[in-house]
Amino acid sequence: MNDLLILSIVVIIYLLLTGYVGYVAWRRTKTADDYMVAGRETHPFVMALSYGATFISTAAIVGFGGTAGVYGMGLLWLTFLNILVGIFIAFVFFGKRTRKMGHNLGALTFPEFLSKRFDSRFIQYFSGLVIFFGMTLYASVVLIGMARFAETTLSIDYNIALVVLAVIVALYVIFGGIRGVMYTDALQGTIMFVGMFILLVATYWMLGGVTDANQALTNLVNVVPAKATAAATATGFTGWTSMPALGSPFWWTLVSTLILGVGIGVLSQPQLVVRFMTVKSNRELNRAVLVGGIFILLMTGTAFIVGALSNVYFFETAGKLAMQVVNGNADLIIPAFITAAMPLWFAYIFMIALLSAAMSTLSAQVHTQGTALGRDIYETLTNKKSGASVMIARMGIAIAMIIAVIMGFILPANIIAVGTSMWFSITAAAFLSMYVFALFWKGCTKAGAISGLVVGTLISLFWLVFEYKKSAEALGIAKALTGKAVLTTALPWPTVDPIVIALPIALVVTVVVSLLTRKLSKEHMDKCFEGV
């Protein structure tokens, strides 16, 4: 059986399964509750796989996997945070309260949850605007990750891959709503798990086992060309199996942007928070923790380990490091490694795993954007509570996908990991302080929540545009207005992620304003916290 036939069979089976699951979801979607929170009766296994598959995308596998080829295994600290914060703390401490409070308030989206908790329409439409426009960056880098893999591994035109993937996802999300998203997520998550497990085992087997492979990676620090070694050392690089020099530019980028930005920012991801409101009891969340933890461990751990070890493979086979092989574009490291090191049949199967990763995350993103436009912006501004919001949400999904495709055409190289981190930082700065206090502090006031939301959003955007070097240089706004790439050139500020600056300020502002302003009524608070 030739490779092309294998690919055709695998793709056809995958698309038929995805289409069938989407059809089942469409048949079970009849109300706004069904479309937005799956009727609040999702099975814990489906919820856990949907959460994990939404969390882990081609941005994690291709983007962050490639970034591990640059920064090394220090990125595994992000895996630790993903499990501790993104699964255990999120499910046990945040998820249970979110589920119960969301049910008490009848909330169907994350902005609506915050809005009803603080009795503020402004919070709902402002948060909806942040989500609808800001999440486009995240959606576009997920699309880019899949399209780059198809381009490198299968020699498919990048532009064609970008458009085809977007059309497939848009169709089943528009018609199936959150059920379509979660059911296909469960299928896609299972495929991702199998594909990544095979990749991890195959990589270590090919490089002589765990001990030999890791030792070879450690030894590479001594065989890098002298000029490159001097340049890397100046930025704080100490090797692929050790952390960068404390406080160096390399350290700040790895820790503040890649580890903290995503590791903490996961708590305030709207597309993940809404998953907690799709189950009917805390029992389902408890049962989902183990499944979610194992899934995240294998997904992120494999991507980061393989990305770092690709340096060993390329050095042994081509005498070059991974970044030299891909001409400085980290987004191409994982696709290049799969193409060079693995048999073609595995590349085809792994493409299905990546397709699953991209589609699961992308579907959740555009569904969140669509509901933000229909439920959080349209309904709030027009004060019309009707079935029209679902129609507007479906239009929003189509618009969001079109914008993401356009951005996929114009965004620069090396954007996947950076773009993901930027979105996670923005959401943490905008929503996390308000979300934490909504769940755990009855003394947080409407004015305090609004102040933290607005201040966190504006400071994070300012830092991304004028201070954080990677985003400021890509946007070019600071250069156009001031003549400088960033306003502050003294280290470490150009390498400090916005989350380090904006989130603490938003927290302080929320607390101070809450202490100085009128509290919400006892009746409202009793309703919010009933049974919590």
What is the C-alpha separation between 463 and 497, in angstroms, rounded?
8
Q: 496's torsion region: left (phi>0), alpha (psi -120 to 50) or beta?
A: beta
Check residue 530 and report its DSSP letter.
T
Give the model's confidence band at 502: pLDDT under 50 very low, under 70 low, under 90 confident, else very high. Answer: very high
pLDDT tens string 84-98: 888 888 888 898 899
pLDDT of residue 442: 92
| Mean pLDDT on 423-430 | 89
pLDDT of residue 47: 64
Angle at 185 between CA 182 and CA 191, to 5 degrees: 155
What is the C-alpha separation between 421 and 410, in angstroms, rounded?
19
Between the ranges 20-29, 54-63, 310-319, where is the mean pLDDT highest?
A: 310-319
- The residue extents of the domains of the chain are 3-419
pLDDT of residue 431: 94
**CB 117, CB 438: distance < 8 Å:** yes
Judged against a pLDDT cut of 60, whether residue 443 lies above it is answered with: yes
* Spatial CA neighbour of 123 closest among 379, 382, 374, 451: 451
Judged against a pLDDT cut of 90, whether residue 495 lies above it is answered with: no
What is the C-alpha separation between 22 and 182, in angstroms, rounded?
9
**CB 441, CB 452: distance < 8 Å:** no
What is the C-alpha separation between 406 and 417, in angstroms, rounded?
19
More reliable by pLDDT, 43 or 271: 271
| Mean pLDDT on 424-436 | 91
Fold of 3-419: Sodium/glucose cotransporter (1.20.1730)
pLDDT of residue 312: 93
pTM score of the predicted model: 0.81
pLDDT tens string 215-264: 999 998 876 554 444 444 557 788 888 888 888 888 888 888 888 878 88
pLDDT of residue 6: 66
Give the model's confidence band at 182: pLDDT under 50 very low, under 70 low, under 90 confident, else very high. Answer: low
Judged against a pLDDT cut of 60, whether residue 32 lies above it is answered with: no
Which of 79-88, 259-268, 439-448 shows the lowest mean pLDDT across its residues?
259-268
pLDDT of residue 119: 92
Residues 6+ apart with CB under 8 A from 164: none
| Mean pLDDT on 371-395 | 73
The share of the chain scoring above pLDDT 70, in percent, equals 82
Which of 140-149, 164-173, 237-246, 458-467 shows the lowest mean pLDDT across its residues?
164-173
